[in-house]
Structure 1
């Protein structure tokens, strides 16, 4: 079960649903003023997470389509479907979240230890040689003239 959860990006889906749906829902239920929702929840909390999320996608070799996960849930579900967030806020904050994720996704990679590795869906892995034999060639290269 845990393998399937990790394989289908379970933690990323849970966090995206928490930040994209439940956070605006609870803010509305608690009675946050709109200015506090915008500043603290949508700019600080969601913005910080999308910065981290872009970095985590690059670092762990996740599918780059996950960059659209938080903005799609926030914009699609919370803004356009359930109307928890004003339409203008939802649209522009969704674009902001994509841009923030892309900043850290395409950010400075000089310190990454995985620069010379090949990306695989579940993270970066080293390539192992398929053959273990050493082939010896004659000095003349084996060519006859």
Structure 2
């Protein structure tokens, strides 16, 4: 069954999506940076390795399906956090006790703040939370709500 799922093209990212679907809007270095950001989220919140791998799979499949409109750091962090959030809800028991939209919005806001006394306003946090939940909906729609595809971690 896993082999059949692995062979369905819609459940796998395109191997050349950065050049084709993204048409150079995102470069490998930016993708690597975002994957590190997603890994830090998974580590900080104690998420399982399978959750991280699933989040990266969701992100890559999304980028294979839709061209990015905004490749700014904030937008990419929101999208990466949405992928981690969706993966955590799929993989983890009690995921919302470990991580939720409010916590992830704070992470996304703090990544763009500068200075030792910088703190996001409640309005900024609320906007980031809405953006995160919107990004999750767009991500799930782009994936066709097919969340159970095997990842590399499935076979380890």
Same-fold status (TM-score > 0.5) = no
Structure label with greater radius of gyration: 1
Higher relative contact order (CA 8 A, sep 6+): 2
TM-score normalised by length of structure 2: 0.33
Normalization by structure 1: what TM-score? 0.35
